[in-house]
């Protein structure tokens, strides 16, 4: 995959990428051509003080669903036409993309061609004012010729994190994938900087997997990731 060198003035904000060079109030990073900073990964509650390694998690078929209720005052809604702007705003707020524009372009390229599927797979949380403030997508990904159920783009806007919304949307998306895909394994991609979110995924049945078919790039390293996570766990 080719990359473009880009520079963004971000103040004290941080960007989720392996290739980061910190300068005063500037982050220089290698971004994918569509502006995405890594379409597989979830980025809630980043801690960049720990070493980085991407890895994958699998939820085995047949596991019971784990219910994490949505806090009072919030509601789940599905995608409808025009919601790409809300999706882009949420994803850009957690630095999945460098801008709303690049997020919208990614959405239009990868999801809009499947709009009928979007309407039953792209999930949002709305606050009491009707503002969309969290999202994920119960999607799929092809590994070779094999289609696998995949939870994509888990994101909660920073000002709403810490209220249990991440747990609630992961729980709801897992339930949704079971309805749509049946009794099959579910997957997601994450990284060590998101170890707090990894705890949420584990609560809902996802465990790290060393499946070699998934590890096709240098950003993902199962052994390195597990070593880092063990050190994090031991320091608690």
CATH number of 38-234: 3.40.630.30
pLDDT number for residue 45 = 57
Beta-carbon neighbour count of residue 191 at 10 Å? 27
Residue 184's contacts (CB-CB under 8 Å, 6 or more residues apart) are: 61, 148, 149
Print pLDDT tens along the chain (236 aa). 334 433 333 333 333 333 333 333 223 233 344 444 443 444 345 788 999 999 999 999 999 999 999 999 999 999 999 999 999 999 999 888 889 999 999 999 999 999 999 999 999 999 999 999 999 999 999 999 999 999 999 999 999 999 999 999 999 999 999 999 999 999 999 999 889 899 999 999 999 999 999 999 989 999 999 999 999 999 86
Compute φ and ψ for 7, nearest 5 degrees: -135, 130
Q: Which pTM was predicted?
A: 0.79
DSSP 66-117: ---PPPTT-EEEE--TTTHHHHHHHHHHTTSBSSHHHHHHHHHHHTGGGHHH
* Gap between the Cα atoms of 155 and 161, Å rounded: 9
pLDDT number for residue 98 = 86
* Gap between the Cα atoms of 63 and 61, Å rounded: 6
pLDDT number for residue 165 = 97
Whether residue 212 contacts residue 84, with contact meaning beta carbons closer than 8 Å, is answered with no
pLDDT number for residue 94 = 85
Domain ranges of the chain: 38-234
- Name which of 172, 213, 194, 215 is nearest 66 in CA terms: 172
Which pair of structure tokens corresponds to residue 175? 């339930």
pLDDT number for residue 103 = 95
């Amino acid at each position: 995959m080719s990359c473009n060198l880009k520079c963004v003035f971000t103040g004290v904000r941080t960007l989720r990428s392996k290739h980061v060079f910190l300068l005063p109030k500037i982050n220089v990073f290698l971004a994918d051509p569509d502006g995405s900073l890594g379409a597989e990964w979830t980025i809630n509650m980043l801690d960049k003080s720990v070493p980085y390694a991407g890895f994958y998690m699998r939820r085995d078929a047949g596991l019971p669903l784990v219910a994490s209720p949505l806090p009072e005052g919030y509601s789940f809604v599905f995608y409808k036409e025009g919601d790409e702007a809300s999706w882009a705003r949420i994803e850009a707020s957690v630095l999945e993309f460098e801008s709303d524009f690049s997020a919208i372009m990614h959405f239009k390229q990868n999801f809009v061609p499947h709009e009928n599927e979007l309407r039953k797979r792209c999930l949002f949380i709305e606050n009491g004012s009707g503002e969309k403030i969290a999202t994920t997508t119960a999607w799929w990904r092809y590994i070779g010729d094999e289609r696998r159920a995949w939870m994509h783009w888990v994101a909660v806007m920073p000002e709403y994190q810490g209220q249990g919304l991440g747990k609630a949307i992961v729980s709801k998306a897992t339930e949704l994938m079971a309805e749509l895909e049946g009794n099959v394994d579910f997957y997601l991609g994450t990284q060590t900087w998101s170890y707090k979110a990894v705890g949420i995924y584990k609560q809902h049945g996802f465990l790290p997997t060393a499946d070699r078919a998934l590890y096709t790039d240098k950003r993902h390293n199962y052994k390195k990731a597990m070593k880092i996570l063990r050190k994090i766990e031991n320091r608690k």
